Structure 1
Amino acid sequence: MKSPTNPPSTVRDATVPPVAYRQPPIRQWAANDRPRERLYAHGAAALSDAELLAVLIGNGTAGCDAVATGRALLSRAGSLGRLLAEPDHLPPVPGIGPVKRARLVAALELARRALGEGLTDLPRIESPRDSAQYLQARLSHLSHEVFACLFLDTRHRVLAYEELFRGTIDGASVYPREVVRACLRHHASAVILAHNHPSGVPEPSRADRDITQVLVDALALMDIRVLDHIVVGRGEPVSMAERGLLLARSR
C-alpha cells in the first residue's frame, strides 16, 4: 500500500507534553551498576562484552553512554570475535574518535598476542589441539579467506605466526614458492599450515587437499616437515593430519 503524497499532519493532545527519555550518564548510575566499579568488586569476568568495551572507551557522548556505545560497536562488527580477528578495521561508531579507536585497537591486539603466548610457552606442539584454539581465534571470524603458517623449530616449538595470503569470501591463491621462502626466512624445521572457510564449514575441499600435497612435497625438498593443515570454520577446526591427508611422496 502506497503512502499518500501529502499525509495529514499528526494531531497531538496539547495537554500532554512530549516526553523525551534519555539514559543518565554512567557517573549517575548506582555504584553497583557502573562497569568500572563492578570490575573492581567482582572481577572482569562478571562484566558483559559491552561493559568491558565501556571500560576501555571511558565515556560516551550526549545521550549515549559508554555501555550503549560498546553495544553499538559489537552490533556493527557482528561479534566480539570479529573485533578480535580484525582490530585494525573497527567499524565506524558515533563517539569512537581517533583516541578511543587507538585504545581499542591496542587492547584487542594485546588480546590476540596473549593467545599466542600460550603457544610459545608450550615445550612443543604435540597435537592439533595445541595450536587449533589459537588458529581459530585468529581466523574463524574473518569475512575473507586467509592462508597462514605457524613456523616451528626442530623441537616443534613455535617460532612465528604469519598470514601469507589473503583472498575473497570463497578462496585464496597459495603460492608454494612463497611458503618455502617464508619457512626459510623464519629458519623453520617444521610448519603447521592453516586457513579459514568464511562459509563456516571447515570440511577440506579437493583444492585444499591438492595444495596441501603440493606444499608437503615442496617443503620436503628443503627437509621441512608439514605437521598439519588445519581448516578453521565455525565449531571445531579440522586437522588434515588426523584425517590422514598429509602423505609425503617418496623421493
Structure 2
Amino acid sequence: MTINHWPASERPREKLLQKGATALSDAELLAIFLRTGIAGKSAVDLARDLLKHLGSLSNIFSSSQSEFCQLPGLGSAKYAQLQAVLEMSRRALAEELKCSNVLNSPQSVRDFLRLSIARKPHEVFMGIFLDTCNQIIASEELSSGTLTETSVYPREVIKRTLHYNAASVIFAHNHPSGKAEPSQADLLLTQRLKAALAMIDVKLLDHFIITTNKEILSFSELNLI
C-alpha cells in the first residue's frame, strides 16, 4: 500500500503540517525528503532501509555518493538533493552567526562546525575570522591533510587574518579517528598560532577539535590557550 492510501493522520507530510516536524520519526522525516518509494516499498520503507543501511541520520548526512546510492531507488538525483539540504543548513547557520555575537552563541558555533567539518574523511583545519564586535566576517578551510596530520603555516594564517582585517580568530579541526583528545602537535600548533597572532594584536578566542561521534573539545574551556 502506498502512502497515499494511508489515513491522512499517518502520512508523514500531513502529520508534519498538523503536529510539527518534531512529532515525526527519523524515517518519516527522511520519507518526506525522499518523496517517493519504489515498487513494493513506500518512501517510509525506503527511509527505514536507508537508516538500517547507514546506521543513523548523521551517517546518512556524511555518506559518500557511492554509499548512499547502494540501495535501490536511491540515485544521484536524491544524493544531490541531500547535499543541497546540507549546504543550505550550513549557510543558514553561517548567516545566523554573522548576525550575532559569537561569544553569546556558543552552541551555534558548535553546530556550524559539526556540519562543516565533523564528517570529513581527512583532517581539515578551519579558521573563523571575527570583527571587534565578535561577529563572523568569514570562515574558510586553511589546510587539509591526511587522516593523521595536516600542515598549517602561521605565515599563511596571518596573511588570511590580515586579509579579513580580523580582530580575533577561532580555529577548529576535525579528528577523523573519532578521538577528541588533543595531540602534542595540536597543543604546540595552537601556541605557535596564538603567539603569531599576538604580534599583530589579534586574539585567539578558541580552538575546537570535532570528531565523527559529535564530540567537541574546546581548548579555551580546558585552559589550553
TM-score by length of 2: 0.84
1:226 aligns with 2:212: no
Of 240, 243, 248 in structure 1, the residue corresponding to residue 219 of structure 2 is 240
* Structure-2 residue corresponding to 1:99: 77
Q: Counterparts of 2:66 and 2:165 in 1: how far apart (Å)? A: 31
Structure 2 counterpart of 1:245, which letter?
A: L
- Residues 81-100 of structure 1 mapped to structure 2, 5 A cutoff: 81-85=58-62, 91-92=68-69, 93-100=71-78
Shift of 1:207: 0.6
Query: Contact 1:84–1:108 (CA<8 Å) still a contact in 2?
Result: yes
- Residues 59-70 of structure 1 mapped to structure 2, 5 A cutoff: 59-70=36-47
Query: Contact 2:206–2:218 (CA<8 Å) still a contact in 1?
Result: yes
Q: Counterparts of 1:81 and 1:160 in 2: how far apart (Å)? A: 26
Shift of 1:146: 1.8
Q: 1:59 and 1:126, CA in 2 relative to 1: closer, same or farther beyond 3 A?
A: closer
Shift of 1:240: 1.2
* Structure-1 residue corresponding to 2:195: 217
> What is the aligned residue count?
223
Identity %: 44
RMSD (CA atoms):
2.7
Q: 1:244 and 1:127, CA in 2 relative to 1: closer, same or farther beyond 3 A?
A: farther
Of 135, 139, 147 in structure 1, the residue corresponding to residue 117 of structure 2 is 139
TM-score by length of 1: 0.76
* Structure-2 residue corresponding to 1:14: none
Q: Counterparts of 1:169 and 1:106 in 2: how far apart (Å)? A: 26
* Structure-2 residue corresponding to 1:125: 103
Q: 1:155 and 1:87, CA in 2 relative to 1: closer, same or farther beyond 3 A?
A: farther
User: Gaps spanning 5+ residues in structure 1: where?
Assistant: 1-23, 247-251
1:196 aligns with 2:170: no
Shift of 1:216: 1.4
Q: Secondary structure at the match of 2:68?
A: coil
Runs of 4+ in structure 1 off by over 6 angstroms are 86-90
- Residues 16-165 of structure 1 mapped to structure 2, 5 A cutoff: 24-85=1-62, 91-92=68-69, 93-125=71-103, 131-165=109-143
Query: Contact 1:84–1:111 (CA<8 Å) still a contact in 2?
Result: no
The structure with the largest alpha-carbon Rg is: 1
Shift of 1:113: 2.4
Structure holding more helix per residue: 2
Q: Secondary structure at the match of 2:182?
A: coil
User: Gaps spanning 5+ residues in structure 2: where?
Assistant: none
Q: 1:208 and 1:221, CA in 2 relative to 1: closer, same or farther beyond 3 A?
A: same
Structure 2 counterpart of 1:170, which letter?
A: T
Q: Counterparts of 2:182 and 2:110 in 1: how far apart (Å)? A: 15
Q: Secondary structure at the match of 2:40?
A: coil
